[in-house]
């Protein structure tokens, strides 16, 4: 504790020198969780960047703030690699960056670049293979991240860490917020967390000013980890028309183990194709009969494919005849959904698919061939026969492609 206080005091004296960097914050998606075990997590200006060899770079970093440090040095030498020749270097003269640093990698190439540096930590590497950084860090993000990193290892795995990460998700710059969304599922206690710790996630989920991709990731996290404490807020989003409604419905279904039949029926009647896809996915009982019509006539290929997949997964081979139109669908999206669903039946579907390949229309035969390609060894045996003697040249070619005997792709 005394050591941390010394570090804090040292950097408090120089943090007032921190200038507002030009431009909005950029990056930060790889900051967590590598920052938790880094040698240092600091903010500073890039000075004298230098290309060492084909891929290696180094620069001086004039530190203006430390979020976590093993060494209180105000001048650090950092190194990284640029493996993409067409990309400009990550850091240029004068850049203000937040960066997580680790000891140099053990590969001999790094020893050649910096002889003896690994032993005395005189040069540090940018963590996460050079990706643990952020340009133009903003003060609110730095404050939230520092608060989290100052927690003990045990606290990070309990309510204090969960709440701190949730606050980062809600209020930090998009890149660092994304890294926090990715960190949260690694916490074993997350699913049983009280609503108070998770509340910032609900706020961010409903905050239209937050990036759409981030909000979608939050909703998916709530569903994937079955965060029942946020079920009411999630259901509110699922009942409102928005770009996140379908994602929220999937998350609600993940928590509840499905959707009520009445809700699925409403979705099947929606004018929004994304909602009809969900209606097909969760249809039960009499509503499954409506799927047969959707397979044949819905204007959306996603809906046609979803309806076919839903019938096969609920009825198995008993639904095969009803999904034949999807297997022969001229749209690749609809066809692929049906092919993959039938393929999940494995060897049991081989006789029906083989018969369709022999007796169906050209498009249905091609769909059947693609289905056989998903049916393991038995399907492969059927393909060998079709590739050799099917009377339709195009069907033979698709079978040969499936067997890897020809180059190119059949569309």
Helix (H) or strand (E) holding 294, with range, is helix 287-297
CA distance 167 to 52: 40
Are 50 and 57 in contact, with CB atoms under 8 Å apart? yes
What would you measure as the largest C-alpha separation in the chain, in angstroms? Answer: 83
d(CA 153, CA 293): 56
Backbone dihedral angles phi then psi of residue 27, each to the nearest 5 degrees: 85, -165
Pick from 25, 2, 23: which is nearest to 176 by CA?
Answer: 25
Burial per residue of 138-158, b for 16 or more beta-carbon CB atoms within 10 angstroms, e otherwise? beebbebbbebbebeeeebbb
What pLDDT does residue 14 have? 35
Burial class of residue 103 in the structure, from the number of CB atoms within 10 Å of its CB (0-12 exposed, 13-18 middle, 19+ buried): middle
Residue spans of alpha helices (H) in 85-229: 108-113, 117-120, 127-130, 139-149, 153-156, 159-171, 174-183, 195-205, 212-224
Return the closest-CA partner of residue 220 out of 175, 179, 186, 252: 252
Q: Are 395 and 362 in contact (CB under 8 A)?
A: yes
Per-residue pLDDT of the chain (411 residues; tens, 9 = 90+): 333 333 333 333 334 344 444 688 999 999 999 999 999 999 999 999 999 999 999 999 999 999 987 666 789 999 999 998 888 999 999 999 999 999 999 888 999 999 988 778 889 999 999 999 999 999 999 999 999 999 999 999 999 999 999 999 999 999 999 999 999 999 999 999 999 999 999 999 999 999 999 999 999 999 999 999 999 999 999 999 999 999 999 999 999 999 999 999 999 999 999 999 999 999 987 788 899 999 999 999 999 999 999 999 999 999 999 999 999 999 999 999 999 999 999 999 999 999 999 999 999 999 999 999 999 999 999 999 999 999 999 999 999 999 986 444 444
| Res 289: pLDDT | 85
Task: Pull the structure tokens for residue 202.
Answer: 């609900």
Residue 329 has phi, psi (to 5 degrees) of -60, 135
CB atoms closer than 10 angstroms to residue 383: 27
Name residues whose C-beta falls within 8 Å of residue 59's C-beta, 6 or more positions apart in sequence.
46, 47, 48, 49, 50, 77, 78, 91
Quote the DSSP letter at residue 286: T
Q: Say how far apart CA 47 and CA 43 lie, in whole Å.
A: 13
């Amino acid at each position: 504790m005394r050591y941390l206080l010394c570090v804090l005091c040292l950097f408090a004296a120089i943090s007032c020198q921190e200038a507002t960097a030009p431009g909005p914050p950029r990056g930060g998606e790889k900051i967590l969780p590598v920052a938790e075990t880094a040698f240092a997590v600091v903010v500073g200006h890039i000075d004298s960047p230098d290309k060492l060899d084909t891929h290696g770079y180094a620069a001086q970093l004039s530190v203006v703030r430390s979020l976590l440090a093993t060494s209180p040095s105000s001048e650090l030498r950092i190194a990284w690699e640029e493996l993409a020749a067409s990309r400009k270097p990550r850091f240029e003269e004068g850049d203000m960056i937040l960066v997580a640093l680790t000891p140099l990698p053990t590969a001999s190439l790094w020893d050649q670049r910096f002889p003896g540096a690994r032993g005395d930590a005189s040069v540090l590497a940018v963590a996460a293979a050079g990706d643990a950084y952020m340009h133009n860090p903003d003060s609110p993000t730095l404050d939230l991240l520092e608060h989290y990193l100052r927690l003990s290892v045990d606290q990070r795995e309990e309510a204090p860490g969960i709440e701190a990460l949730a606050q980062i998700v809600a209020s930090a710059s998009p890149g660092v917020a994304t890294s926090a969304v990715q960190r949260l599922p690694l916490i074993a206690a997350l699913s049983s967390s009280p609503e108070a710790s998770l509340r910032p996630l609900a706020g961010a989920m409903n905050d239209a000013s937050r990036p759409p991709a981030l909000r979608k990731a939050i909703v998916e996290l709530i569903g994937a980890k079955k965060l029942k404490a946020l079920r009411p807020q999630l259901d509110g989003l699922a009942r409102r028309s928005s770009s996140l409604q379908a994602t929220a419905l999937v998350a609600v279904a993940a928590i509840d183990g499905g959707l009520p039949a009445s809700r699925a029926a409403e979705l099947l009647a929606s004018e929004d194709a994304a909602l009809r896809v969900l209606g097909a996915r969760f249809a039960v009982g009499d509503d499954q009969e409506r799927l047969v019509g959707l397979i044949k006539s819905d204007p959306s290929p996603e809906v046609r494919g979803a309806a076919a997949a839903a019938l096969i997964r609920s009825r198995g081979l008993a639904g095969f005849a009803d999904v034949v139109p999807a297997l022969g669908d001229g749209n690749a999206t609809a066809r692929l959904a049906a092919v993959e669903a039938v393929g999940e039946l494995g060897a049991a579907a081989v006789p029906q698919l083989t018969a369709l390949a022999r007796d169906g229309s050209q498009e249905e035969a091609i769909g059947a061939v693609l289905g056989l390609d998903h049916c393991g060894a038995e399907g492969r045996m059927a393909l060998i026969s079709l590739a050799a003697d099917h009377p339709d040249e195009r069907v033979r070619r698709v079978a040969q492609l499936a067997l890897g005997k020809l180059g190119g792709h059949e569309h």
